[in-house]
Amino acid sequence: MTAKTLLLALPLALAPCGAARAAAADLAEAGVAAEKITPPPGTLMAGYYFDRAASGVHDDLFAKAIVIQSGGVRAALVACDLIGVPRECVEAARRAIEAATGIPGAHVMISATHAHTGPVVRSPAGARRASGGGKESATAFAEALPGLIAAGAAAACANLAPARISAARGFEDSLSFNRRFHMKDGTVGWNPGRLNPNILRPAGPIDPDVPVVHFASAQGAPLAMYVNFAMHLDTVGGLEISADYPYTLGKLLGGLKPGMLTVFTQGAAGDINHIDVAWGTQTHGHVEAARIGTVLAGAVTRTFPHLAAVSAGPLQCRSRLVALPLPEIAAEAPERARAIIARRGLAENPPAFLELVEAYKVIDVAERGGKPLEAEVQVITLGDTLAWVGLPGEIFVELGLAIKRSSPFAQTMVVELANGSIGYVPTRHAWPQGNYEVASARCGPGSGEMLCEAASCLLREAHAAAVRAAPR
């Protein structure tokens, strides 16, 4: 694909007086707000397999909310600068939002950007489990989070006013890389290292799509830019709290459109990160995060001339709970896993990384006692043009691409780590290849395809209903 920007093909209104129809009555309403969720210094930080406490704040973390209203229906899109939002927090936040605003919980999509330089978020139930994280700061944050998310959504709801919504799809293929590689020895490597001579080729694709949705007031003042892109947020590292590259993205876009809030959501990026194995001197840290945010801001900026008005149409919210199979574990595996975890951090004979990853998975899976993992697939659509698909967990990119391909909507945004965090969701064909994401996955082979199937089904239903509702 060579096109720098893919124009959004807007379906034309077929009404005889189409132009007149697209008047003020056609405007949806939107409200935008951001609630600061930065935890205090000393908070246990997420992202890696070792404990580290935050030393300070490079940039603040937020729960950013966009509330949309059309035809009397309201929905909220909330994006949190966090590694993930546990299901219990999502449910508590939805209850609080419903109580404060009347927006039904099922109409609320709460997602995490997957920032690796934010707090550990461990629900009280999660803290009781064996896989670490029972630290006080992690549960304290999880207890405060639903209220903060609800405050953001309620503030956005209070700001509801007629809005001009427009959309476009940007393109950026220089930032993201599939981090799984076919190696010369026949294995599939995971982050095999820069300039590794044993790399044959990437084991999967990337998704260069940068779908954006712009919200402006009826007078045209910019309110928010919704940006979705599939690439792990793990470019900063270190001990300072940071939202990672979306921080620079928001700062630059806010400079171009003063007063505008940038709401970044993570695409299907389970196997996608920023590491260019062919670039021997690629740096990391805040400078690299700023470079990435700058390039992505460029991709978004290039969509400005192509932002096409989205006519209001029906706002629809659909969800389906999918019972995902568990990965198989041997009967003696939990005992072995506990022994491995007990050796964690030892100076002598500490467990290997993949051993530890697998051990945590085994304990979590064994504790379910065979109970399938419940996953919510959520689809929010506006008219017959825009679709947001929320999937819990870190979704392999091919699954996201498959959903977009099957979607009848002009612009479909796949949002991972939405409404829960079930861990990695590999494709079926990645299972026999093994390595990190597969070793870590709490759901079994075929789970990703089940989520795709459910999403495609909901998208088809929503599109058929939108077409039926369109004026003829």
Instruction: Give contact residues for Zn ion (rule: CB under 5 A).
Output: 394
Q: Distance (Å, rounded) from C-alpha 396 to C-alpha 409?
A: 21
The full DSSP string for 377-389 is EEEEEETTTEEEE
Question: Of the two residues 94 and 274, which places its CB atom closer to Zn ion in the complex?
Answer: 274
Closest approach, Cβ 101 to Zn ion, in A, equals 31
Closest approach, Cβ 341 to Zn ion, in A, equals 20
Q: Specify whether the CB–CB gap between 277 and 195 falls below 8 A.
A: yes
Closest approach, Cβ 231 to Zn ion, in A, equals 11
Question: Of the two residues 179 and 214, which places its CB atom closer to Zn ion in the complex?
Answer: 179
The full DSSP string for 272-303 is EES--TT-TT---SHHHHHHHHHHHHHHHHTT
Q: Specify whether the CB–CB gap between 411 and 393 falls below 8 A.
A: no
Q: Which two tokens stand for residue 460?
A: 């088809």
> Closest by alpha carbon to 9, among 448, 410, 444?
410
Closest approach, Cβ 447 to Zn ion, in A, equals 16
Strand order in the sheet with 199-202: 188-190, 180-183, 199-202
Closest approach, Cβ 425 to Zn ion, in A, equals 11
Question: Of the two residues 29 and 394, which places its CB atom closer to Zn ion in the complex?
Answer: 394
Question: Of the two residues 81 and 394, which places its CB atom closer to Zn ion in the complex?
Answer: 394
Question: Of the two residues 84 and 390, which places its CB atom closer to Zn ion in the complex?
Answer: 84
Which helix (H) or strand (E) segment holds residue 70: the answer is: strand 62-70
Determine how β-strand 161-171 pairs with β-strand 180-183. Answer: unpaired
Question: Of the two residues 11 and 434, which places its CB atom closer to Zn ion in the complex?
Answer: 434
Closest approach, Cβ 454 to Zn ion, in A, equals 22
Query: In this chain, which residue has its C-beta nearest to Zn ion?
Result: 394
Q: Helices then strands (H, E): number in the chain? A: 11, 22
Residue 387's beta-bridge partner residues? 381, 412
